[in-house]
Amino acid sequence: SQGAEPVPLEKPLKVVALLHLRHLTHHSLLSTSKLHHPFRFSPLKSPRFSCSASASTTMAKQVLVPIANGTEPMEAVITIDVIRRSGADVTVASVEKELRVDACHGVKIVADALVADCKNTVFDLIALPGGMPGASNFKDCGALESLVKKQAADGRLYAAVCASPAVALGSWGLLKGLKATCYPSFMEQLQSCATAVESRVQQDGKVVTSRGPGTTMEFAVTLVEQLYGKEKADEVSGPLVMRPNHGDEYTITELNPLEWKCNNVPQVRF
């Protein structure tokens, strides 16, 4: 309108910075003071913006992906990325004392929050990436153990890939009587706490497990299907150009032996 003051140059830049808040969780907003960002985010002043953001957040499924020093970065990032493509609100939480963790292969990952800050949040899914010693650091984190045990007790989804099914979930007693899979070198350990299955992705009830970096894409899409249904999983997986299930590589082999006993001589009729 006439007589309006000219808009300062920095305001468009502030709008761009604020758009990045859509990718942050409510946990991360509490923790931004610990991060050194090139931008300083101003409080939201537009009622229309904050109202629409809160509406979309309440509809999204809430997912927790913990990370630790020694986490396998491919398993963490693929799981986070694929699930976020479904529209879910994924909180990345560090089990360490700092938000930034030293993942495997020299990769640094910065979390949204600390696991301890998530204890009062209800999640639709908690998914543990693997890697060593990342899985061991998960096992030793009391706050994470409490979260996942409550998740199981409440009948909500929980999942793990690579070493984490055996090292974390198995050690916490959360795979008893269930079929599960894990990284090949941990299968013997898994047999002591679950029905070990050689499967790229294994689901039993509310638990989904998988084997390693190469199976994480299938693992993450399976989690999307559990959260939103097959139609959404197909919508997410289509653009990823994934291979269809085929061939002997998807054959399931149960490793736990079953002993059959017969007290009488078998009778055969012709």
Distance CA(72)–CA(67), nearest Å, equals 9
* pLDDT confidence of residue 62: 98
CA-atom Rg of the chain in angstroms: 22
The one catalytic residue in 104, 162, 182, 193 is 162
Higher pLDDT, 252 or 178: 178
Question: What is the mean predicted confidence (pLDDT) over 94-110?
Answer: 98
Distance CA(113)–CA(11), nearest Å, equals 29
Dihedral angle over CA of 16, 62, 228, 67, nearest 10: 90
* pLDDT confidence of residue 263: 72
Burial class (CB in 10 A: 0-12, 13-18, 19+), 158: buried
118 is catalytic: no
Contact criterion met (CB below 8 Å) for 221 and 203 = no
* pLDDT confidence of residue 56: 40
* 123-172: pLDDT as tens digits: 999 999 999 999 999 999 999 999 999 999 999 999 999 999 999 999 99
Looking from the CA of 96 toward its CB, the CA atoms found within 13 Å total 18
Distance CA(84)–CA(95), nearest Å, equals 21
Distances (CA, A) of 160 to 75, 175, 199, 225: 10, 11, 13, 16
Q: Which residues contact 262 (CB under 8 A, 6 or more apart)?
A: none
- The structural domains of the chain, ordered by start, are 62-237 (3.40.50.880)
Instruction: Judge whether residue 50 has pLDDT over 70.
Output: no
Contact criterion met (CB below 8 Å) for 75 and 162 = yes
Question: What is the mean predicted confidence (pLDDT) over 238-264?
Answer: 70
Instruction: Judge whether residue 269 has pLDDT over 80.
Output: no
Distance CA(249)–CA(155), nearest Å, equals 31
